[in-house]
Each structure stands twice: as structure tokens, then as C-alpha cells.
Amino acid sequence: MKELGLREISLGVESGDDWTLDRINKGYHASNILEQCKRLEEAGIDYWMTFLNGTAGKEHSLEHAINSAKIFSQCKPMLVGTGGLTLFPGTPLLEEAKRGEFTPLSEKEMLIELKTFVENLTCDCYFVTHHTVSGKNLTGPDFLKRKDTIIASLENEIENGDLDRMAAIRSRKRTL
């Protein structure tokens, strides 16, 4: 009988920024991400990495985007996925936002953070975004070949997108 081994795994990394990882209580730091991804590579296991856009709030958005892209770029993910933070009822982060301890990003700020992440990402992979953005050409293979097109699409959304529609879509989400 042929042994079936693990071929790929999805990593909900969410950030490669130590401040953000501490802020959201992930229990690890960027150096741990690099170490574990290297182990996966040595074992021949492909992996996906997920960036959670907006999770650092306004307080640390730029650093979250840049440092995450730097860490992701040092790895060899087959796929990089991004999603936008939604604050769900009953979650600690929503309660912190209500108390003024966390400042969520606006839709425009979410797009700017996502664009910053993309600008700084240098690993070639399949790129997927599960953001409320309606821009075309964001998802697909050959990230590095398409990077300029993705950035242009995000810039167009930042300047011309229906940000109210995007906010409405996010506000109606009830689960991931």
C-alpha cells in the first residue's frame, strides 16, 4: 500500500510583525514563522500563508504591512492569501475598539495597507485576496509577473472604488 504523506498545509500566519503578533496574542514571533517554514520546506511540504489585512489597526498599520511582506518574502509559500479584518460581535477586538483601545481601519485605509503589503512582497506565488475590493486582476498565479497590475488595480480602487459598498459588505459579514 502506498503511503500518503502530507503534501501541503495552510498557515494562518496573519502577520509577520512582532508588535502585531504580540497584540493579537498569536503566541509566536516572526523568527518562529521563518523557522517553521524552513522545516516545512526541508520536509517537502508546500504551504500557504495568510496575511490578515487590518489586524494591527491604525496604530501600527504600515509596520504590519511592510514587516509581514518581508517575512513572507523570506519564505517560499506556494500561495499567499489576504483577507480583511472584520470585527465580529463577542470578540475581544471589537470590545477593545468600543473602549477606544483599538482603532479599526477604514476601507480606504485597508486598501492602502494591502497595497503596501503587495508592494513589499517579493516571493513568487499564487496570490489570492478575499477582500471586499472589486478590483480585477488581483487573484492568480505568477505574482511577480502580475505585481504591477495588482498594484495598479489597488490604486484604482483606492481612488475610484465604491468604499461605502465595501464597508456595507464587511458590515454584513457574520462569520469567516
The per-residue DSSP string of 55-69 comes to TTTGGGHHHHHHHHH
Q: Is the Cβ–Cβ distance between 13 and 54 less than 8 Å?
A: no
Q: Is the Cβ–Cβ distance between 25 and 92 less than 8 Å?
A: no
* pLDDT of 171: 73
pLDDT at residue 16 is higher than 50: yes
pLDDT confidence of 2, banded at 50, 70, 90?
low
* pLDDT of 170: 72
Question: In whole numbers, what is the pLDDT of the chain averaged over residues?
Answer: 89
* pLDDT of 1: 47
pLDDT confidence of 176, banded at 50, 70, 90?
low
pLDDT at residue 21 is higher than 60: yes
pLDDT at residue 174 is higher than 90: no
Indicate the CATH number of 9-172 among 3.30.750.200, 3.90.1150.10, 3.90.870.40, 3.40.50.1110.
3.30.750.200
Alpha-carbon separation of residue 110 from 5, 21, 89 (angstroms):
38, 18, 20
pLDDT in tens, 32-75: 999 999 999 999 999 999 999 999 999 999 999 999 999 999 99
pLDDT in tens, 117-130: 999 999 999 999 87
Quickly count: other Cβ atoms within 10 Å of residue 46's Cβ: 14
Cell numbers given for 173:
459579514
pLDDT at residue 175 is higher than 80: no
Q: Is the Cβ–Cβ distance between 15 and 55 less than 8 Å?
A: yes
